[in-house]
Amino acid sequence: MLIRTEGGNIASGKTTCLEYFSKTSDVKLLTHVVKLWFQVVSEDSLSLQALRYQDPERWGLTLQSYIQLTMLDRHTSTTVIKMMERSIFSAKYIFEENLFRSGKMPEVDFAVLSEWFDWITTNVSIPVDLIVYLQTDPETCHRRLKQRGREEEKGITLEDLQVIHQLYEDWLVRRTSFPLPAPVLVSFTPLLHRAFNERIKPSSSSLFI
């Protein structure tokens, strides 16, 4: 079984890259499970994702618990060759960590999520062969966020993206924060998706050898 996971900031080009590989390689694409997060709604018809942005202290634990569940489901899929958008590790080391450090997640909630994550990674086999890090500057991500205009992302600021970028850099490039579950391939993404595809094309097959 070969498992490649993609990591990168919000709007770093992950979906575009995955769609490209799905058309050019013999790969089972396991996309980001955002759709599932939107299917869980409140009495006011607000999605879990929207609730998290609206009131992170109240809904951060709920959303991150569900993300951890859906990511675990993807990791344990029996597909022979698969490529995933994000992973259970980036959910923990980047997004949960960001919520906690920014004061948007109570310490008790963070402790519960951390203990649950530790139990999973100790008792469940979560193989990862390679992490492909799409290294995109926060300014480019912020511009793409504005261009795609998703309602739930309107509250994401450049400062938010800069913090997430720093967490990724510390983890995957400097390797000073958290353990790496697999080797890391760093790919700097150009400003345009078209240029990004051209950059990846010559070496795409080598990712699945």
Question: Per the annotation, does 10 bind a ligand?
Answer: yes
Q: Is 85 a catalytic residue?
A: yes
**DSSP assignment of the chain:** -EEEEEEE-TTSSHHHHHHHHHHHSS-EEE---HHHHHHSB-TT--BHHHHHHH-HHHHHHHHHHHHHHHHHHHHT---SEEEEES-HHHIIIIIIHHHHHTT-S-HHHHHHHHHHHHHHHHHS-----EEEEEE--HHHHHHHHHHH--GGGTT--HHHHHHHHHHHIIIIIS--SS--SS-EEEEEPPSSHHHHHHHHGGGGGGGG-
Question: Per the annotation, does 166 bind a ligand?
Answer: no
Question: Per the annotation, does 7 bind a ligand?
Answer: no
Question: Per the annotation, does 54 bind a ligand?
Answer: no
Question: Per the annotation, does 148 bind a ligand?
Answer: yes
Question: Per the annotation, does 144 bind a ligand?
Answer: yes
Candidate list 6, 85, 96, 97, residue with the active-site label: 85
Question: Per the annotation, does 11 bind a ligand?
Answer: yes
Binding residues: 8-16, 144-148
Active site residues: 85
Binding residues for ATP: 8-16, 144-148
